[in-house]
Structure 1
Amino acid sequence: MNLTDPIFTDKDRAREYLERQRWADGVYCPHCGGVDKCKKLEGKSHRPGLYQCGDCRKQFTVTVGTVFERSKVPLNKWLLATFLMASSKKGMSAHQLHRTIGVTYKTAWFMFHRIREAMRDGELAPMGGGGGTVESDETFIGTDPTYKGSRRVYHHKMKVLSLVDRDTGKARSFVVDRLSQHDLVPILKENIDRESRLMTDQAPWYRQLRADFAGHEHVDHSKDEYARGDVTTNTVEGYFSIFKRGMKGVYQHCGKQHLHRYLAEFDFRYSNRAAKEIDDTTRANMILKNADGKRLTYRRINSVVA
């Protein structure tokens, strides 16, 4: 798909495209979930794409219940922004988007945060099932505005824990307040299958994990050990290299209240990268389908808990 495609220039074509993606198995009501009595309202008195549910009697369009709901930005510009986000390896700045599609910077910033919300996987199944291998590591970025203590070493930095399933290529990342067994071990136990092999570095918070998984092996970076056979954390460190190039080279600044959405963006692209034979159009369509049920308001996105 190229940028001259009609879905990027015509809002009706864009709406029809989104309908095909969201309602591939048939139209359903986003209010009550009804599927049997959804009728398209025709005629000049109704706007294009308007439906009515025969069960709850409410009207709706394809954008209701998605991140695109109640937006004044034409839907064709939303699809273009989604395609640009899906096709960029290390992200695209809101300034670049506002120049490209002709919206204000604030609008472009909000659009990208909505799209990041649609990129959020929400997958709850443990990683590494069936005896797979999961790598775990942590990194630091920016400054944590909530930290009031010493700026010694990494303590004043925002902290990120990432897990990468070596077999499926999936990545899952978390913003954490502290690096300790108390904070990290529950995340590992909840997100990694007990039959998995866990690969980490020599950090002290990874100790005492052998009984929780099929195996726990580590490399000792303090002794310049980065691989011992298949024992390595190079895969997750490769993910961090892409993440940091994007955060430092493209976005440059990120508040802690928004960091989890940037992580969702990089997790999505890494988990669905070209190396897995998933092209840009497929990634964009995955975002459009995943936008269902993820309404994001301006108040929520700017709140401290966003």
Structure 2
Amino acid sequence: MDFESLSQLLDYFKEEETCIEYYRNIRWPGKFVCPHCGAEDPYVTKRGFKCSNSECYRKFSVRVGTFFESSKIPLRIWFAAIWLATNHKKGISSIQLSLNLGIAQKTAWFVLHRVREMLKDKDPSMLGGG
């Protein structure tokens, strides 16, 4: 996410389809696989994807197996929250995030909690503290 400003990010990710395609390319560069069984080349459906393996044949989306899973929050909001959380020198509060993104404070707290947990696993240096 090499965006200069929040408005630039939100302009780029206007539609959920753009977000899904962007995250799909990050998650599965090259070969596209089922997150449940690892079978290659799942079917693309109107609502997501379906495994091509006859034993699995499960439906899934790009969110399955990630910290976005089980969330109805649009990926656009998630991407903006990640950008804000990683670009504020001293971090960002859930109150400020809710004001910046126009979401409820409880939703902002939930998003920030998941983002911080993801960063703790993937890139602890972005959380500061040493």
Verify same fold: TM over 0.5: yes
| Counterpart position of 1:16 | 21
Query: Aligned-pair distance for 1:18?
Result: 1.0
Taking the aligned partners of 1:268 and 1:17, their CA distance within structure 2 comes to 22
| Counterpart position of 1:91 | 91
| Counterpart position of 2:68 | 68
Give the counterpart of 1:25 among 18, 27, 30: 30
Max Rg structure:
1
Q: Give 1:70's aligned amino acid.
A: S
TM (norm. structure 1) is 0.37
CA RMSD in angstroms, aligned pairs only: 2.1
Taking the aligned partners of 1:28 and 1:57, their CA distance within structure 2 comes to 12
- Pair 1:9–1:53, CA change in 2 (3 A): same
What are the superposed Cα offsets for residues 193-243 of structure 1, whole Å, 9 maximum, x if unpaired?
xxxxxxxxxxxxxxxxxxxxxxxxxxxxxxxxxxxxxxxxxxxxxxxxxxx
| Counterpart position of 2:126 | 268
Q: Does 1:51 align with 2:55?
A: no
Taking the aligned partners of 1:77 and 1:8, their CA distance within structure 2 comes to 9
Q: Give percent identity, aligned residues only.
A: 37
Q: Give 2:21's aligned amino acid.
A: E
- Pair 1:37–1:26, CA change in 2 (3 A): closer
Taking the aligned partners of 2:13 and 2:97, their CA distance within structure 1 comes to 14
What are the ranges of 5 or more consecutive residues in structure 1 without an aligned counterpart?
124-263, 272-306
Aligned length: 122
Query: Aligned-pair distance for 1:270?
Result: 4.4
Query: Aligned-pair distance for 1:7?
Result: 4.0
Query: Aligned-pair distance for 1:122?
Result: 6.5
Query: Aligned-pair distance for 1:70?
Result: 2.2
**Structure with higher strand content:** 1
